[in-house]
Amino acid sequence: MTNEKNYVDLAINDGSEMAAYIALPDNLQTGTPAIILIQEAFGVNYHIRNVANHFAKDGYVVIAPEIFHRTAPKYYEGPYDNFQAVMPHYSAITNEGLEADLKACYEWLTKQGSVDTGRVFSIGYCLGGRVAFLANAVLPLKAAVSYYGGGIDQIADKAKDLHGRHLFFWGGKDDHIPDETINKTLKALDEAGKDYMNVKISFVGHAFSCDERPSFNEMASKDALALTLAFMKNS
């Protein structure tokens, strides 16, 4: 069940309003790093809220925006077993709209006296992996992480604009993301001279880090999380 007390409503510069889930550390204090956490294609559901809560326990202020807010009802959660149900919302998002959403999240974070604005990160899963890449290009992030981000190659031209280091996770058995699309992204990063870390886990498929889906792999998920936390800490 959604707890509305854990949400904020953000005014977007196109006139729309976006809800965002907020998770805070128990020992919140000045100088706390922050994460803009981006959903999969299924909304800011129980899984994403749980991920946000875990990152908060690790010492981060976390904001998870509902990026389908222009077409989906508030607190929308799409079914994992019916991708067609989320397609109207997935297909309606635009880079321009996403940039506006990301900037609203960053602006909210900068207004929180507890947040260290020099240590803001973005992490995204699936669809969110692409959006985290976009966030690194349009926001002054310290670093960003993309888990099995399909479609990053379609915005690979933004590699030159990345502000912070980027960490990528891919599944070696992921039928949704061909190697050639990954290679296109990495080539753009190399040509732009950007720092990144690229991790392909040979024995997992798409969405290996989502414990609500059959593709979940506990070992790979734990290893990826450990590297994610170290990557942010050392950035």
164-175 per-position pLDDT tens digit: 999 999 999 999
Task: Give the closest residue to 20 by CA, choosing from 63, 59, 69.
Answer: 63
Task: Give the closest residue to 169 by CA, choosing from 185, 156, 187.
Answer: 185
* Rounded percentage of the chain residues whose pLDDT exceeds 70: 98
**Would you place residue 5 in the very low, low, confident or very high pLDDT band (cuts 50, 70, 90)?**
confident
How many C-beta neighbours within 10 Å does residue 167 have? 23
CA atoms within 13 A on the CB side of 155: 23
Per-residue pLDDT tens over the stretch 14-66? 999 999 999 999 999 999 999 999 999 999 999 999 999 999 999 999 999 99
Give the mean pLDDT of the chain: 98
Predicted model pTM: 0.98
For 87-131, the DSSP string reads: HHHHTT--HHHHHHHHHHHHHHHHT-TTEEEEEEEEEEETHHHHH
**Would you place residue 1 in the very low, low, confident or very high pLDDT band (cuts 50, 70, 90)?**
very low
Q: What is the CATH number of the domain that holds 213?
A: 3.40.50.1820
Domain span at residue 193?
A: 4-234
Per-residue pLDDT tens over the stretch 75-116? 999 999 999 999 999 999 999 999 999 999 999 999 999 999
Instruction: Specify the residue for token string 């599944």.
Output: 171
**Would you place residue 195 in the very low, low, confident or very high pLDDT band (cuts 50, 70, 90)?**
very high
How many C-beta neighbours within 10 Å does residue 138 have? 18
Which ranges of the chain does DSSP label H, i.e. alpha helix?
46-57, 83-90, 95-110, 127-138, 179-192, 218-234
The whole-number pLDDT of residue 2 equals 59
Q: State the total domains in the chain.
A: 1
Q: How far is CA 214 from the centre of its chain?
A: 21
**Would you place residue 4 in the very low, low, confident or very high pLDDT band (cuts 50, 70, 90)?**
low
Sheet containing 61-65: give its strands across. 7-11, 17-23, 61-65, 32-38, 115-125, 143-147, 165-171, 196-201
